[in-house]
Structure 1
């Protein structure tokens, strides 16, 4: 009976924990309500299975507890039960995977009017690059990274000379405008994660990964690294500030371009 009681308490406690927890959902700050819908579907499917399995275990412990003279019925296989369990598991897994595949397609299908923003990771720092007046990001290579050129921009690419460079500062974004996030790592595997955006993606050295979202809520949000990247992993944090367009333009005008950055370091880019 003690085992039965423990199993029942596990079921009741788990359900109450998830239902009553005030931090169950963080306030969403982007257009990805699809992510929440997928999480809710997954939660209900796994929650129902968890309650059913543990409750069945409690029933079996109580119903088939040891009694003098009782012997277990020998049944090495049950084709009907196997088909039922196998089919039910397949349906449950498919129900969890299908919404995720739909959301993933939306997650990587970038709108044509999305503004590009590059996020560059390194141990243990976030840096950002925004297009300048020409609206285009210049070429960049990890092999070109130097103390004077921290993001490795190609100095012979005119498109990159007016790129806005933000090293270790805040990333500001205007509210209500889609953003194409380009992700690049210059050393090891990292993961760009803003919980309130419902957005995260691995940053793999030698590759450019990406996703997109539209900020829908003004505020300041933490950037976390969601991939163990060394001893400073826990301190690898940044900030995204979502603000009105006028405030964003004011902030953008105060940032250094690549040309200004190289000039201040005494290393001028070649003339056009």
Structure 2
């Protein structure tokens, strides 16, 4: 009841204020001062609009220049150059339009303020003006769309044959990674084989699975200057792979594998030097809300020099899925030996 009473009181107050405002207008009309008051009010509002334009315009320019370096993160991939060029081109186009339209908005508001004896000119139609303001935006938009399509087609083209393959699988709420062995082919996976131990659902009867090995639990590695093909999938709900420094973003969809390839241009150590942050790490984050733990669903990507990456592969490839899942029996030992030889071959290839 108290809530209803308060709500009714507020409504009554608003109605009262509105009626008082209407009474004041009617009184000024009867006194003959209404038009004079309107003229003064418009003059004040016109001046205030100009003040607002210059003050807020100055703040807008200052905030843009101050935040310019932080709008996008440092780029660390080859195709990221094209993405950044598209970003700044789009910013330039919409920035120019924004500035021009707002200058006209505020200047016209001041210039065409209320004046006694002056009436608005009725100007209902002009084919030439309508063609201009329709064709120009259409052409600019078409050019931007074509530029974006061309860049996207280039980015999503088939990966080079010698690309380093890394499978990334998302699940609530972490990322798992898998690397192929010397054959550079990932083994078959089946959702019916997924267990607490076999999180990927790897089919060990497939010979291509024999030398597959996992990335580190909290990080995965790729080499600098080499094409990297990410094979992306999800085990439960929709996730999204986002590597902002590499301008990589691709959804991980259950039952629909996706992929994205890129060429890293800066190692983790080089980016630490560039940013002046010795603790810097490339982060892979999930950018699709996937549940309560979404905020913490991330992992680290380490970009190594080619020689360092070879050493990492040689060490990590000894821990094959076959060895781990089969419990280290005689067959597993044979697989492990083959995997070590294959890893050396793969490292040499990289």
Instruction: Report what 1:234 is aligned to.
Output: 295
CA distance in 1, matches of 2:188, 2:60: 51
Change (3 A) 1:151 1:111: same
Query: CA-atom RMSD, angstroms?
Result: 2.2
Report the more deviating stretch, 237-246 or 159-168.
159-168
How far apart in 1 are the matches of 2:124 and 2:191?
A: 61
SS of the equivalent of 1:254 reads: helix
> 1:231 & 1:79 partners in 2: Cα distance?
56
Asked whether 1:29 is paired with 2:84, we answer no
Q: What's the CA shift for 1:13?
A: 2.9
Aligned to 2:242, which of 181, 189, 193? 193
- As a proportion of its length, which structure holds more strand? 1
Q: TM-score, normalised by structure 1?
A: 0.91
Counterpart selection for 1:86 from 127, 134, 137? 134
Checking the alignment, whether the CA contact within 8 Å between 2:211 and 2:322 is kept in structure 1 is yes
Structure 1: gaps of 5 or more residues = none
2:65 maps to which of 7, 19, 35: 19
Q: Name the residue aligned to 1:258.
A: 321
Match of 1:69 in 2: 117
The match for 1:45 among 75, 93, 100 is 93
Deviations 1:237-257 (A, max 9, x none): 111000112222222233321
Q: By how many angstroms is 1:235 displaced? A: 1.0
Paired residues of 2:171 and 2:234 also in contact (CA < 8 A): yes
Matches within 5 A, 1:88-237: 88-109=136-157, 110-166=159-215, 168-219=217-268, 220-237=281-298
Flag the structure with more relative contact order, 1 or 2, with Cα contacts below 8 A and sequence separation at least 6.
1
After superposition, what is the alpha-carbon deviation per residue over 1:11-65, rounded to whole angstroms, capped at 9, x for unaligned? 4433332333231332211112111111111111111111112122111211111
Give the Cα–Cα distance (whole angstroms) in 1 for the partners of residues 262 and 199 of structure 2: 26
Deviation at 1:197?
Answer: 0.5
1:66 and 1:152 mapped to 2: Cα distance? 75
What runs of 5+ residues in structure 2 fail to find an aligned partner? 1-46, 269-280, 336-350
CA distance in 1, matches of 2:323, 2:60: 56
Whether the 8 Å contact between 1:222 and 1:238 is mirrored in structure 2 is yes
1:79 deviates by 2.2
SS in 1 for 2:95: helix
What is the number of equivalent residue pairs in this alignment?
A: 270
Contact 1:8/1:58 (8 A) holds in 2:
no
Question: What secondary structure sits across from 1:201 in the alignment?
Answer: strand
Counterparts of 2:165 and 2:312 in 1: how far apart (Å)?
Answer: 17
Sort the Cα spacing of 1:45 and 1:162 in 2 relative to 1 into closer, same or farther, 3 A.
Answer: same
Structure 1 stretch 170-179 or stretch 134-143: which is displaced more?
134-143
Aligned 8 A contact 2:204 2:322 in 1: no
Q: Cα distance 1:20–1:184, how it changes in 2: closer, same or farther (>3 A)?
A: same
* TM-score, normalisation: structure 2: 0.72
Q: State the structure with more CA Rg.
A: 2
**How far 1:167 sits from its partner (Å)?**
6.5
Between structures 1 and 2, the one with greater helix share: 2
Alpha-carbon offset, residue 133 of structure 1 = 2.3
